[in-house]
Amino acid sequence: MSTIVDRISVLLSVILAEMPVGTNLGLFWLLWALISGRFLLSRGAVFPALADGGLPADAVRRSGAALAYGRWTIQTLVRAWRQMVEQEGHGHAHRYEGFRPVACDLVGFFRPRLSGCVGKHYQAGADKALPAIVLAVVAAVGSVGKVRVPLLRLLLRAAPGDRSEVELQRRALTQAGAALQPDEVLIVDAGFGVAALLVGGVPRFVARVARNFTARRNVLPAYTGRGRCPVYGERGRPLPRTYKGRTMAASPPDATAQWVRAGRTIQAQLWDDLVLSTAKPGAPAFRCAVIHDPRYQEPLVLVTNLPVSAYALRCLYRDRWPIEQLPLAAKQMVGAHRAFVFGDESRYRLPELALLAGNILAYVAATAAAVPTGFWDRCCHPTCGRLRRVWLRVDFSDIPIPAGPLRKKVSVTAHVPKGVQGHRRQKGMITLPATTLGRRKVA
């Protein structure tokens, strides 16, 4: 146990090396409280989670101040975390026909009783959008051993004036597309529209679309000799559709493919050189693929601008699913599905740190030896839950603090009033607004 505790302490110290002195130590204990699952015991309360680890009261206050008032951004921590993982070299990126997947998604931390929470995110249990702190997540997908692990690359929060997720999606696609390497492709779910990908300038993408998706050919049909000359290409649909009791047949595909996977014959149809249903010929073109797998009731409809096979498209989109591990680890494993923070910065910083802590927990669990929960756990696997239960038994006084900049900031505070004297109001003249002319001034 001491070896893995030492490793996570060194790992956190490397991530927090660029943070200001004092703030880095507060964030060190806050990340330890998250990855050890103490927020599950405190039901999302910050101070009880820190105090449960054995921290003294002054250290608890300093960690809370680092969360609320510290001068730091989550992107600095994410960048340091990514560089450290790449330097260790334990994992390898997935590659299909020369392309590596980078997944993008929106994550909502639901806060239905938070005053001033303007963001909303869809919740399947309620079947509607609920007030939430919405974040955009971008992660590269690879494997550590036999475990698929996402690596955080970008975390974006909604702008203060945004009342919908559209603007956040647009900014996430623009920044994620600009950061793609020449051999990387952005993978998104059906919540991101194809038009947003094309307008955002994403150079390479694979997106899932609805079953009733339609598009147009990128060429004009032949003139029939009557009426106006055609302006738009011929409309086509990859799957048949029933509307008002009338069945509209699917358009014939340009190519077909099939392969065998685990004893199942998977079939695919492809349509090339398409544009949006509202676009004219000459607009940015893409391809559409419909993949029929006997394991699933509904086919998979994908849209891409990559010149790859249907098999590679299916493999690329399947690597979008590991990004769902980030909110799962941050909410259920770490305990950030509840939050009792209300400040303008804290309400965003705590979910951001929880996503980072969940990613750290998943990576360390995949690279370390599996730790059994007890004598009954005879066939244990390297999972987040097992590692979290081990760290939950570790007291903060037993955690070694690496030497270096990770220390308490030594500041002269003897001259500063403390306690009630620190925030007691001073008497003075207060000028009333102009609307109260004629009334006397209050001393």
**E strands within 171-250?**
184-188, 205-208, 215-217, 235-236, 241-243, 246-248
**Tokens in use for 402?**
């690496």
Query: One digit per residue, pLDDT tens: the chain, 443 residues?
Result: 578 888 888 899 899 988 888 899 999 999 999 998 899 999 889 999 999 888 888 889 999 999 998 899 999 999 999 999 999 888 888 999 999 999 999 999 988 888 878 788 888 888 888 888 999 999 999 998 888 999 999 999 987 777 778 899 999 999 999 999 999 999 999 889 899 999 888 999 999 999 999 999 999 988 888 888 888 999 989 999 888 888 888 999 999 999 999 899 999 999 999 999 999 999 999 999 999 999 999 999 999 999 999 999 999 999 999 999 999 999 988 888 888 888 889 999 999 999 999 999 999 988 888 888 888 888 888 888 888 888 888 888 888 887 777 777 776 667 777 767 766 665 554 444 554 444 444 44
Cα 144 from Cα 141, distance rounded (Å): 10
| pLDDT given at position 442 | 41
Do the beta carbons of residue 378 and residue 372 sit within 8 Å?
yes
**Tokens in use for 295?**
């394991």
- For 183, counting Cβ atoms within 10 Å of its Cβ (0-12 exposed, 13-18 middle, 19+ buried), the class is exposed
| pLDDT given at position 412 | 67
| pLDDT given at position 423 | 63
| pLDDT given at position 422 | 65
| pLDDT given at position 426 | 59
**Minimal CA–CA distance to 271: which of 296, 301, 311?**
301
β-sheet bridge partners, residue 208 = 302
Do the beta carbons of residue 264 and residue 295 sit within 8 Å?
yes
Q: One-letter amino acid identity for 159?
A: A
**Minimal CA–CA distance to 148: which of 331, 362, 379, 385?**
362
Q: From the centroid of its chain, how far is CA 152?
A: 8
Each residue's pLDDT tens digit, 192-221:
989 999 988 899 999 999 999 999 999 998
Do the beta carbons of residue 149 and residue 140 sit within 8 Å?
no
Cα 37 from Cα 30, distance rounded (Å): 11
| pLDDT given at position 414 | 72
Do the beta carbons of residue 352 and residue 74 sit within 8 Å?
yes
**Tokens in use for 370?**
């599996």
